[in-house]
Structure 1
Amino acid sequence: MNEIRNIYCVGRNYAQHAKELKNEVPTSPFLFSKPTHALVETQGQEIRLPNDQGAIHYEAEWVVHIRQPYEKGMSVDELVDQMALGIDFTLRDIQSELKKKGQPWLLAKGFKNSAVISPFIEFPGIEACKQVDFSLLKNGEYVQKGNIQEMIFDLQTIVDFAGQHFGLGKGDIIYTGTPAGVGPIMDKDHFALLWGQKKLGECSVIFANN
């Protein structure tokens, strides 16, 4: 896997997902980050997740890799060279408590192995990506399906926002948000990430004290 620098994640970027969690639909991009220690590439392996911090939910996402430093006016097709699919694992009970307190989400989003990612493939351009659905299978059944055309904030808006507020450079990646259908995981669940009909990655999860 390429050396990854910053991991940016877009929250509530699909209207139906925001509604299913009873969140307001945002009017401007809402970003948070994960530490690089959270990142793990799918290789068909078992991935360890904590078993003592409440419910964990899966959130499948389209992920892009930045190939050069952002400058104002750059297009997505100039900035992005590779793409992948990922799962943003979330400690949902902890996140709910953090929301009530108005505190940052890091404890709920940044734990080890919480940023699962498939191997990267070549980015074919934004228009080509709009023609393909991505999906998540849990134990062989479809649980999430989305298309980037459904995003509230398109990728150009996201990279402009991130680039201007935080900076974007070579090796940064962006998890672009999850469609509706998120739900809890169980010990030994198996996940597969599909781009169209092509499987980009798969893994299983096991609960353990990390």
Structure 2
Amino acid sequence: MEQIRNIYCVGRNYKLHAEELGNDVPTKPMIFGKPTHSLIEAVGEEIELPGTRGELHYETELIIHIARPYEAGVTLDQMVDKIALGIDFTLRDVQSELKKKGHPWLLAKGFKNSAILTSFHPFPGLEACQQTDFTLLKNGEQAQRGNIRNVIFDLMTLIQYISEHFGLEKGDIIYTGTPEGVGPVSDGDVLSFMWGDDNWGEFTARLR
């Protein structure tokens, strides 16, 4: 895997996902980060995940790879050169306790191997992405299905917002949010990522 500089994630970017967890629908992008050691590629092997800290939920997302620093007037095709699929794993019970206390989510979101991603593929353009659903299969059955045409904040809005507040450089990646249908993963589950009809990667979850 090539070196990734920064991992930005977008919370509650699909209305139905916000509602399924009983959260307010945001009026501005909700951005959080993950440490780089949380990143691991899904290449068919077993991936070790925490199994003793409450429920562990998958959140399947489209990931964009930033090709250059942002500046006014650039287009989406200039900013994004590659895409992948991935999971923003969340320790849901831990997150719920942190939210009650008003604390940051890092303990629930930033653990080792919490940022899964497939290999990258060339960015096909916004229209092609909006015409293609992404799907997570759990043990061969559909667990989640989404399309970025349903996001609250589109890709260029996210790029502009993150650049303004944090900065964006070549090699940064953005997890663009998860659709509805998040749920728990169990030890031994096989999780597969589909882009349309194409399998982009899979792994076996090992909870320890």
| TM-score (norm. length: structure 1) | 0.98
- The amino acid across from 1:195 in the alignment is W
**Alpha-carbon distance, 1:148 to partner:** 0.5
Paired residue secondary structure (2:8): strand
- Identify unmatched segments of 5+ residues in structure 1: none
Q: Which residue of 1 is the match for residue 103 of structure 2? A: 103
Q: Which residue of 1 is the match for residue 4 of structure 2? A: 4
Which stretch of structure 1 is more off in the superposition, 43-52 or 67-76?
67-76
Describe the superposition over 1:151-210 as per-residue Cα deviations: whole angstroms up to 9, x where unpaired: 0100010000001110000100000000000001110011000000001110010012xx
Describe the superposition over 1:13-49 as per-residue Cα deviations: whole angstroms up to 9, x where unpaired: 0000000000000011111000000000011000000
Q: Which residue of 2 is the match for residue 26 of structure 1? A: 26
Aligned partners of 1:27, 1:74: CA distance in 2, in Å? 24
Aligned partners of 1:126, 1:163: CA distance in 2, in Å? 19
- The amino acid across from 2:70 in the alignment is Y
Asked whether the 8 Å contact 1:72–1:164 carries over to 2, the reply is no
1:93 aligns with 2:98: no
| TM-score (norm. length: structure 2) | 0.99
1:145 aligns with 2:149: no
Q: Which residue of 2 is the match for residue 71 of structure 1? A: 71
RMSD: 0.6
- Identify unmatched segments of 5+ residues in structure 2: none
Which stretch of structure 1 is more off in the superposition, 122-131 or 85-94?
122-131
Aligned residue pairs total: 208
Asked whether the 8 Å contact 1:9–1:33 carries over to 2, the reply is yes
1:173 aligns with 2:173: yes
- The amino acid across from 2:169 in the alignment is G
**Alpha-carbon distance, 1:127 to partner:** 1.5
Percent identical pairs in the alignment equals: 61
1:37 aligns with 2:41: no
Aligned partners of 2:108, 2:99: CA distance in 1, in Å? 10
Describe the superposition over 1:65-103 as per-residue Cα deviations: whole angstroms up to 9, x where unpaired: 001111123221110000000011100000000000001
Asked whether the 8 Å contact 1:8–1:33 carries over to 2, the reply is yes
Q: Which residue of 1 is the match for residue 114 of structure 2? A: 114
- The amino acid across from 2:118 in the alignment is S
Runs of 4+ in structure 1 deviating by more than 2 angstroms, as ranges, are: none
Q: Which residue of 1 is the match for residue 155 of structure 2? A: 155
